[in-house]
Amino acid sequence: MVEKRQLKSARIVVKVGTSTLTHTNGKLNLKAIDQLCYTLSGLVNEGKEVILVSSGAIGVGLGLLGIDERPSSIPQQQAIAAVGQTQLMTVYQRRFAVYGQKIGQILLTHDVVDYPTSHQNVLNTFENLLRLNIIPVVNENDTVAVDELDHHTKFGDNDQLSAIVATMTDADLLIMLSDIKGFFDKNPRKFNDAVLIPSINRIDEETFEKAGGQGTKLGTGGMVTKLKAAQKMLQANKSMILASGENPSIIFKLLQGDPLGTLFQIQK
């Protein structure tokens, strides 16, 4: 019998990528979104505090506008994000409402987190939403975020944003749902003999060497960005699980301690 994992999970950050929220044709994956809303609503009903970090604004915008490829122009990306974010939140609002769950939107830029006063204001918003059993839905504010010399506002990707949110809110656990089942010893898309690594307690140069390649054409992440997020969680003595987002209800199994995906956790 496989041993169950021991996890603290009173406050959880769940990060979902564009690959979970959309099909390859850019259309919304309504089944996955419904499962996600059902699962997170159920966790709140169990008394857990839940924060959702959701990618997808640009991916959804591309689908709505019938654009196949993510443009390289920053103004074009920002315009597409403005369209997609509205649609994404509308869908979330409707699906969470079916399960009687209230949500609140928080759009962040890096400078908001960096400056002490605004950092505290954002933290106060998180704490008050959670106290009211409201799920904060977090995304980078893609419509205004840039990364130019002294005006650094971008997080880079939502993998790292989710780790920043998890550490700043003192969450026990970050669950990252992706288009891959966990961290492998080599790229499973290229090598049939790739082996899933069930747990990692230390990230070093060798770990990063095993992580290669980019994310999907609609998203921005890849395994390296997920490792950087896990590294941030380990440095804060927090835990992270990387697992498949194909069926978001996997979160229930993860919190029951089922050894699915890869657990990043410092050995006790």
- 176 labelled binding-site residue: no
Q: Does the annotation place 44 within a ligand binding site?
A: no
Distance CA 204, CA 102 (A): 40
DSSP-assigned states of every residue in 62-85 = HHHHT--S--S-HHHHHHHHHHHH
Closest CA to 244 of 234, 233, 258: 258
178 appears as a binding residue in the annotation: yes
Residues 241, 199: contact at Cβ < 8 Å?
Answer: no
Residues in the chain: 268
> Pick from 64, 254, 69: which is nearest to 173 by CA?
254
Determine whether the annotation assigns residue 212 to a binding site: no
Helix (H, G, I), strand (E, B) or coil at 159: helix
Q: Is 139 annotated as a binding residue?
A: no
Q: Does 142 belong to an annotated binding site? A: yes
Backbone angles phi, psi at 117, to 5 degrees: -65, -50
Find out whether 179 is annotated in a ligand binding site.
yes
55 is in an annotated binding site: yes
Strand, coil or helix: 51: strand
Ligand-binding site membership of 222 (annotated): yes
φ, ψ at 176 (rounded to 5°): -105, 115
Show Cβ contacts of residue 40 under 8 Å, excluding neighbours closer than 6 positions. 14, 50, 52, 96, 101, 135, 251
Q: Hey, which residues does 14 pair with through a beta bridge?
A: 52, 175
On whether 226 is known to bind a ligand per the annotation, the reply is yes
138 is in an annotated binding site: no
Q: What is the DSSP letter of 22?
A: B
Strands (E), the chain: 11-16, 49-54, 103-108, 135-140, 147-148, 151-152, 173-178, 199-200, 239-244, 262-264
Instruction: Give the residue numbers of the binding site.
Output: 15, 55, 142, 158, 178-179, 220-226
Instruction: Give the residue numbers of the binding site for substrate.
Output: 55, 142, 158
Instruction: Give the residue numbers of the binding site for ATP.
Output: 15, 178-179, 220-226
